[in-house]
Structure formats: C-alpha cells, structure tokens
C-alpha cells in the first residue's frame, strides 16, 4: 500500500542510465583533480635549525674560457669558491692561462656561476683580471664574499718573463650589480 502523503519519487529507483551518468561525472572529477595539481614543493623538510646543503660550486675545469690559446689549450692554475653575490649559492673564481712549456703566461681571473640550463656547463659571468693586462695570479682566495689575489706583472719589457717584478694586492667585492676592484701595492722590501 502506498502512502498518499509521500508520492513515489522517480529518482529513488536507480536505472542503468543513472549509474552511467554518475560514473561519467566521477571520472570527470578525478581527471580534473589530476590535471590541477599544485606545483612542486620548494621548501625543504628537516629538523628545526638544520642546515640545508647548497648546490655545489661550479666546476672550473668544465668551462670554455675566453682565451686565445691556439692548439695548446687552457689550464686552470688556481680556484676558490664562495658566495660572492649573497644569493646563497657559491660561485667559483678561476685563474686560467694558456698551457705553456716555460715562462709565466698571463692569466685571466674569471667568476663562474651555475649553468643557464640544467646539465649544461657553468657560465663565465665576469672577468676580474683580463689576460691582456699581462699579469699572473698568486694567492687566490674567497673570504666573506670578497675575492683576493696577488697580481704579478712586469715593470718593463726587459724583465724576463720568468720573473715578475711587480706585485699588486687586489680585492674584488660585488657591489651595485658589478664587481668593484681595489688594489694596493705592498710595501717595498728592504
């Protein structure tokens, strides 16, 4: 017997078309949820106060330097690493010269940073000392965001290329979007 107060409702009887419509709607919701995913997480999870390892400094031997060395190639004579621009990632400073059998070839001093594309070679982003200055580099270091080196040179063309007779204690610091150079000559020895 039917209750006269509650008429029979058509939607209370499930038919196959209702199940198909429900399944299609659910598949659409699942597909949309899979397509609208959040981006990858960038924050690290670790213990409070734990240090997160920074990306490694660029490898100096993996770079094509702007030196004209013909067939002899280049040689990385010295390298130092540190965060020079305050972005939290280390840069590499490399003293590079042409391979030479003898004498003291002039060096270039270059700042290297991460590759422009993942898996690519590091990039030369600054030249601190140009090989055209005809100087070699000694005592290269990076401390507290500052590059320091002793630049060795020659006072005249008559000085043998094996034996530089000038020294300049030089420092570079990243300021205002560029490296600012300061140089002082050491006190002459007696």
Contacts of residues 168-173 at CB distance under 8 Å and 24 or more positions apart, as own/partner, are: 168/135, 170/129, 171/146, 171/147, 172/128, 172/146, 172/147, 172/148, 173/145, 173/146, 173/147
Examine residue 190 and state whether it is found in any structural domain, yes or no. Answer: no
- Does 122 reside within a domain? yes
- Band the pLDDT of 47: cuts 50, 70, 90: very low
Query: What is the number of structural domains in the chain?
Result: 1
User: Is 137 or 15 the better-scoring residue by pLDDT?
Assistant: 137
Report DSSP letters for 109-147, one per residue: EEEEE--SSTTS--EEEEEEE-GGG--EEEEEEEETTEE
Q: Report pTM.
A: 0.68
Percent of the chain at pLDDT above 70?
A: 68
Condensed to tens digits (0 to 9), the pLDDT of residues 149-183 reads 999 999 998 988 788 899 999 999 999 999 999 98
Which residue range forms the structural domain that includes residue 150? Answer: 75-184
Q: Confirm whether 56 is domain-assigned.
A: no
21 within some domain: no
Is residue 60 in some structural domain?
Answer: no
Contacts of 57 (CB under 8 A, 6+ apart): 81, 82, 90, 91, 92
Percent of the chain's residues with pLDDT above 90: 45
**pLDDT given for residue 116 in this prediction:** 85
Domain assignment present for residue 166? The answer is: yes
169 lies in a domain?
yes
Question: pLDDT tens across 5-15, in order?
Answer: 555 545 555 66
Answer yes or no: is 19 within a domain: no
Angle at 64 between CA 176 and CA 148, to 5 degrees: 45
């Amino acid at each position: 017997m039917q209750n006269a107060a509650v008429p029979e409702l058509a939607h209370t009887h499930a038919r196959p078309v209702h199940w198909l419509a429900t399944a299609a709607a659910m598949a659409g919701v699942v597909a949309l949820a899979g397509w609208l995913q959040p981006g990858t997480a960038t924050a690290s999870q670790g213990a409070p106060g734990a240090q997160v390892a920074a990306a490694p400094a660029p490898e100096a031997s993996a770079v094509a330097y702007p030196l004209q060395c013909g067939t002899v190639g280049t040689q990385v004579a010295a390298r130092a690493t540190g965060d020079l621009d305050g972005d939290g990632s280390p840069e590499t400073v490399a003293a590079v010269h042409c391979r030479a059998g003898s004498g003291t070839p002039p060096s270039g001093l270059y700042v290297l940073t991460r590759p422009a594309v993942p898996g690519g070679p590091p990039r030369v982003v600054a030249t601190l000392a140009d090989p055209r200055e005809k100087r070699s580099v000694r005592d290269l270091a990076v401390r507290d965001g500052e590059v320091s080196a002793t630049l060795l040179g020659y006072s005249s063309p008559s000085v043998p290329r094996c034996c530089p007779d000038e020294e300049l204690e030089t420092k570079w610091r990243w300021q205002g979007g560029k490296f600012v150079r300061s140089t002082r000559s050491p006190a002459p020895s007696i």
